[in-house]
């Protein structure tokens, strides 16, 4: 609504309210009131308030609090002005969208129009001139609250008004009169403070009256200003409450000239209050029906759409957990390691091959470091002996023959922290020398393809299996795909934690053995062996097949494996981080990240409560990471693997280990070989 005066060229606009619904209101709505009014179309009465002392530059605000459900008759704060309204709660988002907003505002507009034309209007002006509608929908599953405000404002007068030049109150009244105005306004009753008459008999004499006193004042000598508490902070435009006030005055008083005072208080001063004069049209506008109204507010993007409050961070237990679990890491970065890259850790995807004692402990430690994507692979089921040693399982997982370990571990990980992304895959990793994999070709091919896909999708691969030969295929695939592979193996009271070296070149068909041998890299789990991995479960008793260890060994090895991964991630070279020769375990010769040294291997002995950190480089005849093995795998794929599954000795023939054994004393070889434990 605007008008232009030919002489002053002044445009009059009415600024709408920006709505603020306080968090406490939504807490009350979700915890108490919504339960009372759900599944009911009853309109709930509310009482909001606005202020006229907002700081310059802030939008005008209507505040709704948890106490808005109580209709007050008085306030201690003289700068709060009531706005009465109704709350309508939709039960579904579809209902919220389908409500006819135009019809809703029209109905309230008719109520305002009827009240203006009623003799009783003068006794409680704020209750009908300042009105609002709050349409709401609460998505209590996601703790999202949709709301839409309407401040119905009559489209009256029908024709534009002429507006004089805007002036500040301090330009027409002395300072002592303005102070007197503030004092008189505070003495008005609650019902009269929002809309009132300012009567200026002289610059030094000022009085305030209810609007109902207009007839008694119009014949007195002095200027009458129709006044209202103005929430607007714009120096050139009054706030929205003026619109219905003008409609009321023009209909009830039939005036042609109207002086307006937009009362604004900034601290102890009201000198910036606006004053101007409106001139009505000479033509009469006698209408019997409501002329219509506007008032639906816009959202933050200035579109005629509802607003949304997301309280999941303060109401959703999962969100509360998400905000809390990383507190230790944030404090660590803040107080001790300011360069710690937590984002790199949280975005790292980890594949755990083995969901037993090592797998469970590694997963728990990864979560503590902020890793949020953890995948398990295991072919076993949870047995009654597992829960006391394997920290992700409980007694219920053992019932009915036991749940699959990988799936149970993933499910229980989510129970610990719901936002973790975890899946479990139950299948056996094909192994060299196990003829059964060569006979079930289709099933074996499916498992190989799945393993290749999983390794490709993850950034770090943990080898946490029971047997030596089950680590062979993941080692080969990890080398070709240049993945960070962390190996952990256990003895009775010993442990080995090791990171596999990463080849710096791609083993294509043109790569020769001599070219590959010249590239020095860290060794893998199989580089210290001079025999190919075979079927370690054949002809073994139960006690020989089971991994028998002191209970604390797995926890030590698991935590060291995770800490090794974190240290590598924090190094600028990442998976390509080298290791200087350290045959004596001298820490000074090892590479460092912001968290300290980055060893190649950590070998520990609980019998002596000691450990050392040797560094060994790749063996050019290694049955897992030697160039010839990697090239054969890349060129022949599954056909090459199938031959290895039939006969693990083939690896010794391909690499030259067989010839080496034939040329070496057998007694010396067995004296130097590993016994499949650390």
Residue of 256, 56, 23, 46 whose CA lies nearest to 130 = 46
Place of tokens 């299948």: 427
The number of residues making up the chain comes to: 678
Phi, psi of 3 (to 5 degrees): -150, 150
Structural contact between residues 660 and 530, judged by C-beta atoms closer than 8 angstroms: yes
3-state secondary structure of 630: helix
CB-based burial of residue 183 (10 Å sphere; 0-12 exposed, 13-18 middle, 19+ buried)?
exposed
Phi-psi region of 425 (alpha: psi -120 to 50; beta: other; left: phi over 0): beta
Any idea what the Cα angle at residue 300 is, between residues 295 and 303, rounded to 5°? 55
b/e code 6-30 from CB counts within 10 Å (16+ = b): eeeebebebbbbebbbeeebbebbb
Which one is catalytic: 10, 155, 184, 546? 546
Structural contact between residues 136 and 93, judged by C-beta atoms closer than 8 angstroms: no
Cα–Cα distance, 473 to 485 (Å, whole number): 12
3-state secondary structure of 334: helix
Helix, strand, coil percentages, rounded to 5, for the chain: 35, 20, 40
3-state secondary structure of 496: strand
DSSP code per residue over 40-73: --PPEEEEEEEES-PPTTSPPEEEE-GGGGSPPS
Structural contact between residues 411 and 404, judged by C-beta atoms closer than 8 angstroms: no
> Catalytic annotation on 546?
yes
Alpha helices (runs of H) in 261-350, residue ranges in sequence order: 312-315, 317-325, 327-335, 342-346
With residue 359 as reference, give the H or E element that holds it. helix 357-368
Residue of 159, 154, 126 whose CA lies nearest to 289 = 154
User: Cα–Cα distances in Å, from 361 out to 413, 484, 551, 560?
Assistant: 11, 19, 12, 11
DSSP code per residue over 449-480: HHHHHHHHH-SEEEE--SSSGGGHHHHHHHHH
Cα–Cα distance, 539 to 58 (Å, whole number): 82
User: Cα–Cα distances in Å, from 474 out to 262, 391, 401, 526, 627?
Assistant: 77, 25, 29, 12, 16
DSSP code for 593: E
Structural contact between residues 219 and 133, judged by C-beta atoms closer than 8 angstroms: no
Phi-psi region of 176 (alpha: psi -120 to 50; beta: other; left: phi over 0): alpha
Structural contact between residues 50 and 61, judged by C-beta atoms closer than 8 angstroms: yes
Cα–Cα distance, 329 to 334 (Å, whole number): 9
As annotated, the active-site residues are 546
């Amino acid at each position: 609504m605007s008008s232009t005066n030919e002489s002053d060229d002044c445009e009059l606009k009415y600024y709408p309210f920006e709505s603020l619904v306080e968090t406490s209101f939504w807490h009350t709505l979700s915890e108490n009131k919504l339960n009372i009014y759900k599944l009911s179309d009853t309109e709930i009465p509310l009482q909001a308030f606005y202020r006229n002392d907002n700081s310059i530059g802030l939008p005008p605000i209507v505040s709704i609090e948890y106490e808005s459900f109580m209709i007050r008759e008085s306030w201690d704060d003289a700068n709060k002005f009531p706005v009465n309204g109704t709350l309508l709660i939709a039960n579904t988002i579809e209902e919220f969208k389908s409500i006819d907003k135009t019809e809703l505002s029209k109905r309230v507009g008719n109520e305002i129009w009827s009240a203006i034309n009623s003799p009783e209007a003068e006794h409680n002006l704020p209750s009908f001139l300042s009105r609002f509608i709050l349409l709401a929908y609460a998505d209590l599953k996601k703790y999202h609250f949709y709301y839409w405000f309407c401040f119905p404002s009559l489209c009256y007068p029908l024709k534009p008004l002429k507006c004089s030049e805007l002036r500040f109150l301090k330009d027409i009244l002395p300072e002592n009169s303005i102070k007197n105005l503030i004092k008189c306004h505070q003495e008005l009753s609650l019902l009269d403070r929002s809309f009132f008459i300012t009567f200026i008999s002289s610059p030094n004499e000022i009085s305030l009256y209810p609007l109902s006193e207009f007839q008694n004042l119009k014949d007195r000598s002095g200027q009458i200003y129709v006044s209202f508490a103005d929430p607007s902070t714009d120096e050139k435009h009054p706030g929205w409450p003026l619109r219905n006030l003008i409609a009321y005055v023009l209909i009830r008083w039939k005036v042609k000239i109207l002086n307006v005072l937009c009362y604004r208080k900034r601290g102890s001063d009201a000198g910036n209050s606006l004053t101007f004069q409106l001139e009505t049209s000479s033509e009469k506008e006698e209408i019997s029906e409501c002329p219509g109204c506007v008032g639906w507010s816009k959202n933050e993007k200035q579109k005629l759409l509802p607003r949304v409050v997301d309280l999941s961070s303060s109401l959703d237990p999962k969100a509360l957990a998400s905000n809390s679990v990383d507190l230790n890491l944030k404090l660590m970065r803040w107080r001790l390691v300011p360069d710690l890259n937590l984002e790199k850790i949280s975005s790292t995807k980890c594949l755990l091959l083995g969901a037993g004692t090592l797998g469970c402990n590694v997963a728990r430690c990864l979560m503590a470091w902020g890793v949020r994507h953890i995948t398990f692979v295991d072919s076993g089921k949870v047995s009654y002996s597992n829960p006391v040693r394997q920290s992700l399982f409980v007694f219920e997982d053992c019932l009915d023959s036991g749940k699959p370990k990988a799936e149970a571990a993933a499910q229980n990980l989510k129970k610990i922290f719901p936002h973790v992304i975890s899946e479990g895959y139950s299948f056996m990793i094909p192994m060299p020398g196990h003829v059964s994999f060569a006979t079930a070709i289709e099933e074996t091919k499916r498992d190989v393809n799945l393993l290749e896909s999983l390794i490709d999708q993850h950034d770090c691969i943990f080898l946490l299996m029971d047997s030596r030969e089950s680590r062979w295929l993941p080692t080969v695939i990890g080398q070709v795909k240049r993945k960070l592979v962390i190996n952990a193996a256990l003895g009775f009271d010993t442990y080995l934690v090791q990171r596999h070296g990463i080849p710096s070149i791609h083993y294509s068909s043109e790569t020769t053995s001599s070219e590959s041998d010249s590239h020095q890299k860290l060794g893998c789990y199989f580089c210290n062996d001079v025999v190919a991995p075979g079927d370690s479960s054949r002809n073994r008793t139960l006690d020989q097949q089971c991994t028998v260890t002191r209970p604390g060994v797995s926890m030590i090895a698991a935590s060291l494996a995770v800490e090794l991964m974190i240290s590598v991630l924090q190094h600028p070279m990442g998976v390509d981080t080298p290791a200087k020769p350290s045959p004596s375990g001298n820490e000074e010769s090892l590479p460092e990240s912001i968290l300290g040294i980055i060893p190649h291997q950590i070998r520990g002995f609980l019998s002596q409560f000691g450990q050392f950190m040797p560094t060994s480089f790749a063996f050019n005849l290694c049955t897992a990471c030697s160039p010839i093995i990697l090239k054969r795998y890349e060129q022949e794929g599954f056909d090459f693997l199938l031959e290895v599954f039939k006969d693990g000795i083939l690896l010794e023939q391909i690499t030259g280990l067989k010839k080496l054994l034939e040329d070496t004393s057998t007694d010396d070889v067995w004296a130097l070989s590993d016994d499949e434990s650390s």
